[in-house]
Amino acid sequence: MEFLMSTYLSKSLPLCGALIILLGACTSDETPDPVDAPLPTQAPGVAIASPDNGAELNDATVDVTLALSGDVAALRYALNDTTPAEILLGEVVADYTFELNAKPGSNVLWAEAIASDGRIARDEIAFWLSEDLPPQITFESGSQTPIFEESFALSATITSPGGELDAVELRVNGTEISVEEDALTLVDENTTTYSFETTLTLGDGENLIELSAHHGEASVTETLLLTRGQDTEAPTLAGINLPDGSSVESRQPWLSGRVTDNVEVAELRLFNAGADAVSISVNEDGTFGAPIDLLPGSNAFTLEAEDVFGNTTSLERSLYFGARTSAGGSHTGVILNGQIFAWGRNNKGQAGVGYTSRLGDSDPAHPDAPMPVSLGEGEEAVALAFGQNSSLALSASGQVYAWGDNGDGQLCVGTPGSAELDEEDRLEPTLVTLNEPAIAIFRGNSHSLILGASGQVYACGDNGSGQLGDGTTESRDLPTPVEGLEDVIAIRAGSASSYALTASGQVYAWGRNSYGNLALGTDDSDAHPTPALIEGLEDVVDLANGRDHVVALTRTGELFGWGLNASNQLGEQPYWDDGEVHEVEPLTTIDASLNPARVGAGGNQSFVITAEGLAYGWGQNGFGNLGTPTEDDLVNAQDPVFGLVGLDDLGVGALHSVALRNDGRVFTWGWSFQGSLGAGESAINAWSYRVPVLVDVEAP
C-alpha cells in the first residue's frame, strides 16, 4: 500500500491524503489541490530587444538585451546549437543583458522566461555575422617560466570566424619552422576551430615563438616567450573534491584531488588545526585521497606540495562539519554566523519561537519568514537536524537542544528514573542531558540520533521497529546508547530505520526493513533492534537517506542505493525494494567529468552535490522537489537545481529543500505549505515552486 501511495501521490491523491502520508495528520490549514486552483500570478513575457531580428553584424561578440514582463523567476537562452544558459533571478527586472559569441553567417538566438509556477514564454530571432573576420590564436601550452627539457610540445587553439584557414606559419627566434601537415586538426566545424600541435627544439635562454594564421586578406600573429633554464615552478594542486567552505556531515570526510608538477612531486603534506603535518601518498597519475579529522563548525586546513627541486605550493581551505541547513516535514532552518533562523509549519512548536501557530496568525505572528531562534546566552549553533515536526540543534560547546513534537519521546528530554515516557511538546529549545559532548545530530520521523565525541551513538524516541538500536523495541525519552558500534564518523536516520558510517568506510543499519531498508537481501516486517553490517559495501565516504531509501557515495565516486524505489529515487527502473545493494547511475545523462562530492536525500528524492558546487536531483518531482522547471519524476539526474552554483549546504525535506550558497544567500524550492519556503506573505500556500526562491535572511 505504501508503494502505491508514494508512486501516485502527486497525481491521484487529494491534498489531505498527501499530507497525511508525508507530513502527518491534516489540520484546518488544508487548501484545494493546486492542480485545480486558478493561476495566481501574471504570465511571463520575454522579447529579444537587441540585436534586431535580421540585423547584420561585424563583431562576433554580440550584446543581447531581453525585455521582461509578468512573473519571471528564471531565464534560459541559447545561441544556435549551444548548451542553454540558465539564470535564476533574485529580483524583478525589466531588462536583462549579456554577451554571446556568434559565428559567421546566419545565427539563431532564442530566450525563454520561466515563471515561479513553471509556465514558460519564448522569443526567437535570427541575425547575420560578417564572414570577413581575422582568426584568433590561443596558446594552450607554455609560459614565461623556465622550461627544462630541450624538446617542447607546443599546442594552440586557432579559431577562424570567417571560415577555413588558408595557411599557418611558425617561427622560433625569427627562423621559420616547417609545419607538418597533421599539426593542424579541425575540431569544431560550427566555429571553424582547429587544434595546433607540434614539437619544438628549444635553445638555452629565451625562445620567442611566433604563430601566424591566415584567412583570405585577414591574418593574425601571436607570440609566446619560453625560457629554458633552472626549475623554479612549484607543484599545482587542483580538483579538490570538497568545495572550499562547504558543509559535510561526517567528522572524518574523505579529501581527494590531484597534484602535478612540471618535473616531479616529492611530497604532499596536510596541516590540520595546528597539528603536525601528515604525509599523504600520491598515485602515479597525481591523484590522492585521505581522511581529514574535523570538529563541529568551521575547520581550516592547508595542503602543501613540494617538488624534487624544493619548490612548494600551499592551498588553504576550510570545511564546515555540521548541517547549516535543514528541512523537516514543512518547517525549515538555517545557521548564519552561529545564529539559527527558522520558519514554516509550527503546529507543534517545531519552529522554536516559543509558541504554536498556523499560517495567517498575526498575534503572535506565524513564522512564514525567517525568525531567530535562541539556544541561550553565549551559545553558538553549529548544526541543525529537523525531522517531521521536531527539531534538534548542536552548539559549539557540544550541547544538544531539542524542541517541537515529543509524542514519542524523540526530543530526548525525559526525566531520569521516571517510569512514564515524556511526551510533552517543547515550544523552544530545551537542553538534552548527555554524559559527554556531542559532535553530530540527526532526526528521523519519530526518533533522534546523537553522536558523542567518544564515537558512541545515542538514540531516543519511537522504537517500535528497533530503530534505537538498544536491543529492545521499547521507546525511550532519554539518550540511550546504541549497541555494538565502534569508530563511528557519521549518523543518519530514516522514517523508522537508522544508519552509522564508520572510519573504515563500512555502514551499519538497524530498525525497520519493510522496504529492504537495511540491505539484508530481503524485506520483512520484523523489528531489527541491533546494528548489522551491510555486507559487500566498502569504502563509503558519505551517506544520505530519505523516508525509506538510502544512497551511499564511495571513495571512487560510485553511488549505491537500497530500499524503497517507488519514485525512482534510487535512479533505476523497474520498482524494487528487494533489500539488495544496487549501483545507482544518476549521472548517466550529464557530463561524466562531474566529480560527485556529497549526497543528499529526503522524502522520495535524492541528490548528488558535485565538487563544482552543483546539486543534481532525481526521484519524486510532483511538487517541484528537484528544483527544476519540469514536473516529471526523474529516473536519472538531468539538470542541476536551477540557477544554483557554489552550493555550500543542502537540506532536503519531505517535499521541499533549502540551500546555502557560498555567498551567504539562502534559497528554497518545492512544496510551499505553512510558510515552509520562508518567502513570507508573497508565497502562495499549498503551491509547487519548481525554481528556487531567494529567502530574505542575512547573517548577523
Write down the pLDDT at residue 618.
94
pLDDT score, position 247: 98
Quick one: 176 and 268 in the same domain? no
Say if residue 315 is in the same domain as residue 390: no
Residues 342, 437 share a domain: yes
Separation CA 66–CA 77 (nearest Å): 10
Q: Is residue 16 part of a domain?
A: no
Say which CATH number the domain at 119 has. Answer: 2.60.40.10
Residue 552 lies in a domain: yes
pLDDT of residue 458: 99
Cell of 57: 553584424
Q: Determine, yes or no, domain membership for 34.
A: no
Q: What is the largest CA-CA distance in the chain?
A: 95
Give the structural domain span for 310.
Answer: 236-320
Question: Residue 18 has what pLDDT?
Answer: 36
459, three cell numbers? 538514540
Q: What is the pLDDT of residue 575?
A: 57
- Residue 590 and residue 450 in one domain: yes
Is residue 480 exposed (0-12), middle (13-18) or buried (19+ Cβ within 10 Å)? buried
Q: Which three cell numbers stand for residue 348?
A: 507543534
For the entire predicted model, the pTM comes to 0.74
* Same domain assignment for residues 329 and 316: no
Whether 21 is covered by a domain: the verdict is no
Give the pLDDT confidence score for residue 37 in this predicted structure. Answer: 47
Q: Is residue 27 assigned to a domain?
A: no
pLDDT recorded at residue 29: 44
**Are 335 and 312 part of one and the same domain?**
no
| Of the residues 209, 228, 247, the one at which a domain ends | 228
Is residue 692 within 8 Å of 627, Cβ to Cβ? yes
Do residue 397 and residue 535 come from a single domain? yes
pLDDT value of residue 22:
34
Q: Is residue 435 part of a domain?
A: yes
Distance in angstroms (rounded) separating the CA atoms of residues 615 and 669 = 13
Q: What is the model's pLDDT at position 589? A: 42
Residue 162, domain member (yes or no) = yes
Residues 66 and 120 in one domain: yes
- Which of residues 305, 320, 335 is at a domain's end? 320
User: Grid coordinates standing for 148?
Assistant: 627544462
Which pLDDT belongs to residue 39?
55
Torsion angle of C-alpha atoms 475, 479, 480, 483, degrees rounded to 10: 120
Residue 456 sits in the same domain as residue 524: yes
Last residue of a domain, which of 177, 195, 228?
Answer: 228
CATH number, position 513 = 2.130.10.30
CB contact set of 417 (below 8 Å; sequence gap of 6+): none
Give the alpha-carbon dihedral of 493, 638, 683, 341, to 10 degrees: 40
Question: Is 611 found in the same domain as 658?
Answer: yes
Helix (H, G, I), strand (E, B) or coil at 409: coil
Q: What's the pLDDT score for residue 143?
A: 63
Q: Tell me, yes or no, whether 1 lies in a domain.
A: no
pLDDT reported for residue 585 = 58
Residue 573 confidence (pLDDT): 56
Residue 330: closest CA among 23, 652, 89, 35: 23
Low-confidence residues of the chain: pLDDT under 70: 1-40, 143-146, 573-578, 585-594
Cβ distance 620 to 604 under 8 Å? yes
Residue 425's CB is within 10 A of a number of other CB atoms, namely 17
Q: Do 496 and 613 fall into the same domain?
A: yes
- Per-residue pLDDT of 306-335, as tens digits, reads 998 899 999 999 999 999 999 999 999 999
pLDDT at residue 15 in the model: 34
Pairwise CA distance, residues 182 & 254, whole Å: 44
Residues 6+ apart with CB under 8 A from 603: 22, 546, 547, 620, 625, 652, 653, 654, 655
For the chain, what is the domain count?
4
Angle at alpha carbon of residue 474, lines to 470 and 475, rounded to 5°: 95
399 lies in the same domain as 546: yes
